[in-house]
Structure 1
Amino acid sequence: MIGFIGGSGIYEALPLNDVRTVGVETPYGDPSAPVTVGEFGDTGTEVAFLPRHGPKHQRSPTNLPYRANIYALKELGVERILASNAVGSLREDLPPQTLVVPNQIFDRTKHRTSTFFDEGLVVHMPFADPYCPHMVDHLHESAEQATHAETEKGGTYVCIEGPQYSSRAESEFYRDQGWDVVGMTAIPEAKLAREAEMCYATVAGVTDYDVWKADSEVTLEEVLDNAAENEEAIKETVEHAIETLPEERDCDCGSALAGTVNTPTEAIPDEARERVEPLVGDYL
């Protein structure tokens, strides 16, 4: 099963057959919405769709149930996640309506729990390459082949807290660091997907120039207008990616937890072990 997490502007599932809605209970509360599950076209591939902000965009980036979302997809049997994000551009040559498939993240968030393993056991997860490299390649190839949009492979997504946009000083600072796009939802989603041993990559649709550009200042109206323009290209990208995704995973994401558990098994409380059993049980 493949998971698709839709960001701003993506609130409905891809064309699916035999659709069912699944409510998943998790130790971390309810996910953003019940998960829509169905078969994609005639490929035989099952897809689980989850709108990140809820079906009507009711949830703020900081307070999203990230852990519940990833845990729910894991419980359903998802091994690979394709995601989408709306982002601001930090480069003149990445105008609105460009699709970017980043390969790095810089975390500027302050108030989010970014791990499943925060009580009862300690896991130190490598995160040098936050997106699955093979999924990055595949998603970018899909964007180039399936759409007429300008595309960019690689680059750094700086994740800010939100829901406010950047100050001018912050926007200029991000540019001075050489970062490429700015958004509010890559973290902790990417970290949690890695802890759940899922492949994870995102296609980010540029909606604005943040606030660094002299003749442009980001507004909600601009973001929504360009997110709507990006919607079709993002869906075409994800559909092509699902259709052509190799059956086998050719990466290390599926064994990411190997060697990362720092707490002796006998010292892990039963409650903590039960909570994370679907994630790390094979290693205890």
Structure 2
Amino acid sequence: MTSSTHQPSPSLPRSQLLCCFLAVLTLPVSGGRCLSEQQHSWIFNTSTTAILVFGDSTVDPGNNNFIPTVFRSNFPPYGRDFLNHEPTGRFTNGRLATDYIASYAGIKELIPPYLDPNLEMKDLLTGVSFASAGSGFDPLTPAISNVIPVRKQLDYLKEYKKRVELGIGKDRAEAHMKKAAFVVSAGTNDFVLNYFLLPFRRQIYSVSSYQRFVIQLLMDFLQGLWEEGGRRIAVVGLPPIGCLPIVITLNLDKTTLPRGCVESYSAAARGFNQILRMELKSMQSKI
């Protein structure tokens, strides 16, 4: 993902920009595609108190800087378009999509990493990211790179809640959680690294059975967010993973065009997203 610290054109309405991001990046609990004006106003509006983020490198602003892993990006050329050209630990040249969303929702300019020891209460109250680059829903995925499992990120949310309760009281903290927007973005590493690159999961699962295995873990995670007070939740679907540069490079013998996309990978992502839409719709009808 590439991005810039420059503000988007003022001619692009806030609602349209949010819709563009969410159309590309998220499959909201409402079931998918581009959020309507009413839907994105429900998730990201003036009553939204914070944005709380979970997942992998697509939304990790630097948590991996604070854990013993080689899976980091706090060095050039990362951050070359960031303020002062600073490599913050974001796996991008500038800001993350969640930074832009927070900015256009009027909450804050940047979502900080939860593990940053310098966070103050005001930072916690407007939102943090628990995400860890290299992570995934399958517990084997984060073990590959020694990063923070998605389930551990849920534990950090529980710790976050306690810190907020100490700062503003239990009743206000519960109200705060219900008004916060939750963004979940993971799954790419489960398929690209864990399933297709390494042999272990492929020895046990077919593509379709692994899709359902990962989705069940995702749905369990969403249930955990709900139990912790999350009510406004957006879930990110998989991108066309067969077009990722690393996938193309590692599969040059499987493409019909020079450096073309690997269709089998992208097909797995599309199938995953189709099942995810159905599961999210089913979950919404039950909660």
TM-score by length of 2: 0.27
| Structure with the higher fraction of residues in helix conformation | 2
| Structure with the higher fraction of residues in strand conformation | 1
